[in-house]
A = this chain, B = another copy of it.
Amino acid sequence: MKKMLVFQTDFTYKEGAVAAMYGVVKSVDSDIEIITATHEIPQYDTWSASYRLYQYIDFWPKGTIFVSVVDPGVGTSRTACVAETENGYYIVTPDNGSLTHVDRYFGIKSVRKIDETINRLHREDNGAVSIFHGRDLFGYCAARLAGGIISYEQVGEEYDTSMIVRHPIAEPRITEEGITGMFEINDPNFGNLWTNILLSDFLKAGFRMGDEIHTVITRNGETVFDQKIPYYDSFGKAPDHSVMIYNNEINKMGLAEVVGNLCQDYDLSYGKEYEVKFLHE
């Protein structure tokens, strides 16, 4: 396979950080192809970093190395690591919750702490710089791994996968009334909301394509949405600006406003304060 690295960060392109980080990679080995997954993870949001990795990781060739730098604790004692996943990928990241979803849905096989004595960029002029590990540590270490300069074993000492920092993930509940879950993320572009309810559980609860489903959303216990809406397989089947249920691209149930923006138009978002119920009647 071609040498490559896939990057996601919260740096944006508003200044020169991405370019400095990519330069370090090319300085290690100019044959490494650099691919931008995104630099628009919401700032400091390790939950989103974790979710996005989970969303796209297993569409890549086995062996692909991902670099995820959303790092509110840069320069503190949080561990800088490389994780090997059960499904055959490597993730170079601060161990700060960014591995949560990949661990939960695909599994982490092993994890190693980056040895900064060998896998950190040491220049005459950056010894006093402690605030840019994307450039000096994660990008540099990942490039050495992608370029074959070090093996995974040479990243640094292994530590127990049980020590990995994890965000709590809420579980949906099937009841006699239907199924209850939460919104765990949104699609910030089209304004869709994604629940934590797997298609398989939704079907197990008894719902079928084409059903009109009584859908209740609460925010901090207060009802903010209460409608019968259809479950369809594509947006084009419902009228413009109507709300519908669909199976999203990773087989979890989503809510969308057709050719509209559900989050904006209904003032909804994701997170613990929201509960969503799909009811049989």
Which A residues form the contact surface with B (CB < 8 A)?
1-2, 4, 6, 8, 10-24, 26-27, 30-31, 33-40, 43-44, 51-53, 55-57, 59-61, 64, 72-76, 78, 125-126, 128-132, 135, 185, 187-190, 199, 233-237, 246-249, 251, 259
Contacts and interface: CB of A to CB of B under 8 A. Distances in A.
Contacts of A44: 259
Count identical subunits in the complex: 3
Contacts of A185: 15
A75 B33 CA distance: 33
B11 A189 contact: yes
A31 B23 CA distance: 19
Contacts of A39: 13
A236 B188 contact: no
B56 A128 contact: no
Contacts of A78: 236
Given A19-B52, A251-B125, A61 B26 contact: yes
Contact of A2 (B31, B61, B73): B31
Contacts of A74: 234-236
Most buried by B among A15, A57, A125: A15
Contact of A38 (B19, B75, B190, B248): B19
A186 to B, nearest CB: 8
